[in-house]
């Protein structure tokens, strides 16, 4: 039974907890004792008798032998096999052994067991951890197999291990950083989307930075051994604060827990569920599962997590889903798009605050009743900024004359009905025109726009405001007054695989808007391009170039960079800002997700070595585009040269 519910919306895979078992001929009994009466949701069970070795079979000319699998496929229904059993491949196999007989036996057995698991329609098989630092033959064999699988995933077991000792012995076969083992295995298998991993959680954990890398990897489950549990004052199993934090992080990333090992806690008395302070009546009258108290504790950790906010729940379906950025100049937005953005009350509260401050600075109290401020909303859409401006005027007691300029004729229809409905006919003038082409009848005191994209300037705010600047008074105010883009290197296996699935360069040279979730942020973000408005400089150009250097913290260990996350931060007016850069993001605002710039070939960065990145913003007569590349630790090609794959049309 699932660990709990965090509300009726909770469909997370991490609700399910499994148990690692020994080989058992009687599979129905195995399921009955661990699932029906034990309370677990699935078993991780060996499929073949561990004593089996192909080379030990005496094969005669006409002899046939039955492989020693755990029961026939008929002992469970296909649905039971699929939902309750993860196949555990024999742990003795060693495909990189110096012993040729063992190596051949291992290869044969691996193929036989996975073929059987595929026949049973299992969702996944657990592959044993590589025996040493060299795993080329094992990875080659797995790569061959995974090419032929339809839906089944292969989960490679990797211990969560990283020594803090930097003096690595290159000749040693001892694994100092298990991420290196996973990375070499995954690179040999070309980032195959069905190759995932399972982490073995040990009693000691590496640094937080080192653990952080794994959240950008395809971790499907975490196996926690009974040895890793501490004992609380009442004699029950519990976990250290760091282990609790790690497991909560896994829960938030749809990682399932698996409990493994023999019970090492002598549970006092025979009451049920005391570890989690809840009683499960189903197990009162039957033999209690020896690992039940560990399961109860994991369930307790799951149930005490904070429920997701309403915003997080709305965004669940967008997590790690690639979307093409808007082209608001080339295309007219649809009503549904307008409606989504208009629901973002936090954004418009910030705009209203900025307009209030600008009006108070612009008009002294003594002239409030006589002086009328001319305010132009350029890119008015369906009117949310017009409403925010008029509310600011009311709040400050200032008189306002508003021009609402909008190029989308469909949105203009809505604007007219809004003005009529609200009785703003004497205050608001609607202009159906592209702001770059409009000849204004008078100059504005304040110019208000919401033309920002996820990367700040990627929806052509600079070009639009340059065109509109001619009808702003020399001492006029632009809201926003400036904005800066930021990037940071990330590990993002899922995003990389989703881009790779298109099998072309175009998708690797496109920037995507993404609600990023299963990523690892490898270094703090750094500013890229800044634009100020109004800009009266004589040598004005919207082309930009920036070279950036990131240093990944040494205690992280090696890491793989799949691309860059991009953000922005904008100053609306004076101290009123708006943005999505993680360290200073505006809380509870959902109009913008981050942007993702992929790399055609992921780049491995060693501890302490710098990552050097170059970004260009290029302008042509009909389009604006970005180009990017890495030059250190190893050079990458220039991405999106001449805007051949991705651009924003003027």
Residue ranges of E strands in 379-443: 399-406, 428-432
Residue 347 labeled ligand binder:
yes
Active site residue 459: yes
Residue 406 annotated as lining a ligand binding site: yes
Which residues are CB-neighbours of 264 under 8 A, at least 6 positions away? 226, 227, 229
Question: Coil, strand, or helix at residue 462?
Answer: helix
- 348 annotated binding-site participant: yes
Tokens of 500: 């790779």
Q: Tell me whether residue 338 is annotated as binding.
A: yes
Neighbours of 319 (CB within 10 A): 16
In whole angstroms, what is the distance from residue 593 CA to residue 33 CA? 46
Say whether 351 counts as a known binding-site residue: no
Query: d(Cα 322, Cα 510) in Å, to the nearest integer?
Result: 10
Catalytic residue among 217, 459, 463, 581: 459
- Choose the catalytic residue: 20, 113, 217, 450: 450
- Is 434 annotated as ligand-binding? yes
Q: How many CB atoms lie within 10 A of CB 528?
A: 25
Q: 302, exposed or middle or buried, with CB in 10 Å at 0-12, 13-18, 19+?
A: buried
Q: How many other β-carbons are positioned within 10 Å of the β-carbon of residue 509?
A: 24
Continuous segment of H or E residues that includes residue 394: helix 384-396
CA separation, residue 205 to residues 90, 297, 471 (Å): 27, 19, 61
- Burial class of 576 by CB neighbour count within 10 A (0 to 12, 13 to 18, 19+): buried
Torsional sign, CA 579, 581, 584, 585: positive
- Which residue ranges make up the annotated binding site? 338, 347-348, 406, 434-435
Active site amino acids: 450, 459
Q: Binding site for S-adenosyl-L-methionine, residues?
A: 338, 347-348, 406, 434-435
């Amino acid at each position: 039974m699932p660990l709990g519910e965090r509300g009726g919306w909770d469909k997370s895979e991490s609700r399910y907890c499994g148990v690692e078992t020994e080989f058992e001929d009687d599979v129905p009994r195995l399921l009955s004792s661990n699932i029906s009466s034990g309370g677990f949701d699935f078993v991780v069970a060996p499929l073949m008798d561990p004593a089996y070795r192909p080379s030990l079979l005496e094969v005669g000319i006409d002899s046939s032998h039955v492989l020693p699998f755990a029961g026939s496929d008929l002992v469970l229904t296909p649905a039971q096999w699929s939902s309750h059993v993860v196949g555990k491949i024999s742990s003795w196999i060693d495909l990189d052994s110096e012993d040729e007989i063992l190596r051949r036996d291992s290869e044969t057995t691996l193929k036989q067991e996975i073929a059987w698991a595929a026949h049973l329609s299992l969702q996944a098989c657990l592959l044993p951890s590589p025996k040493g630092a060299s795993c080329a033959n094992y990875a080659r064999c797995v790569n061959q197999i995974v090419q032929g699988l339809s839906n089944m995933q292969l989960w490679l077991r990797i211990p969560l291990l990283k020594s803090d000792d930097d003096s690595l012995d290159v000749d040693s076969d001892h694994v100092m950083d298990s991420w290196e083992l996973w990375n070499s295995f995954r690179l040999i298998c070309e980032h195959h989307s069905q190759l995932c991993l399972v982490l073995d959680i040990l009693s000691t954990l590496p640094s937080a930075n080192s653990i952080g890398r794994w959240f950008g990897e395809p971790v499907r489950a975490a196996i926690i051994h009974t040895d890793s549990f501490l004992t609380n004052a009442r004699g029950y199993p519990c976990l250290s604060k760091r282990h609790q934090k790690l497991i909560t992080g896994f829960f938030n990333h749809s990682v399932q827990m698996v409990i493994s090992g023999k019970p090492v806690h002598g549970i006092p008395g025979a009451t049920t569920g005391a570890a989690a302070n809840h009683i499960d009546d189903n197990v009162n009258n039957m033999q209690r599962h020896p690992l039940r108290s560990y399961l109860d504790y994991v369930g307790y950790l799951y149930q005490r997590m904070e429920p997701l906010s309403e915003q997080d729940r709305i965004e669940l379906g967008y997590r790690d889903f690639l979307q093409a950025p808007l082209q608001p100049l080339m295309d007219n937005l649809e009503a549904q798009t307008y409606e989504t953005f208009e629901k973002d009350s936090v954004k418009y509260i910030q705009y209203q605050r900025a307009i209030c401050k600008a009006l108070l600075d612009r008009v002294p109290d003594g002239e409030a009743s006589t002086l009328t401020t001319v305010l132009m909303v350029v890119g008015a859409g369906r009117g949310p900024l017009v409403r925010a401006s008029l509310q600011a005027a009311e709040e400050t007691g200032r008189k306002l004359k508003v021009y609402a300029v909008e190029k989308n004729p469909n949105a203009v229809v809505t604007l007219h009905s809004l003005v009529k409905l609200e009785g703003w006919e004497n205050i608001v003038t609607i202009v159906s025109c592209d702001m770059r082409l409009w000849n204004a009848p008078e100059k504005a005191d304040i110019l208000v726009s919401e033309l920002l994209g996820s990367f700040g300037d990627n929806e052509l705010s600079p070009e639009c405001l340059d065109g509109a600047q001619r009808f702003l008074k020399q001492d006029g105010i632009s809201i926003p007054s400036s904005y800066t883009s930021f990037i940071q290197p990330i590990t993002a296996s899922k995003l990389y695989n989703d881009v790779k699935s298109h099998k072309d360069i175009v998708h690797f040279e496109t920037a995507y808007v993404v609600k990023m979730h299963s990523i690892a942020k490898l270094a703090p973000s750094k500013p890229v391009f800044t634009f100020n408005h109004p800009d009266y400089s004589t040598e004005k150009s919207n082309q930009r170039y920036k070279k950036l250097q990131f240093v990944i913290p040494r205690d992280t260990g090696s890491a793989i960079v799949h691309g860059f996350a991009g953000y922005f931060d904008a100053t609306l007016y004076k101290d009123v800002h708006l943005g999505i850069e993680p360290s200073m993001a505006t809380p509870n605002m959902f109009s913008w997700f981050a942007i993702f710039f992929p790399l055609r070939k992921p780049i491995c960065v060693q501890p302490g070595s710098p990552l050097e990145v170059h970004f260009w913003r290029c302008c042509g007569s009909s389009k604006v585009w970005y180009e990017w590349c890495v030059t250190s630790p190893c050079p990458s090609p220039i991405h999106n040269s001449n805007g051949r794959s991705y651009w924003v049309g003027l």
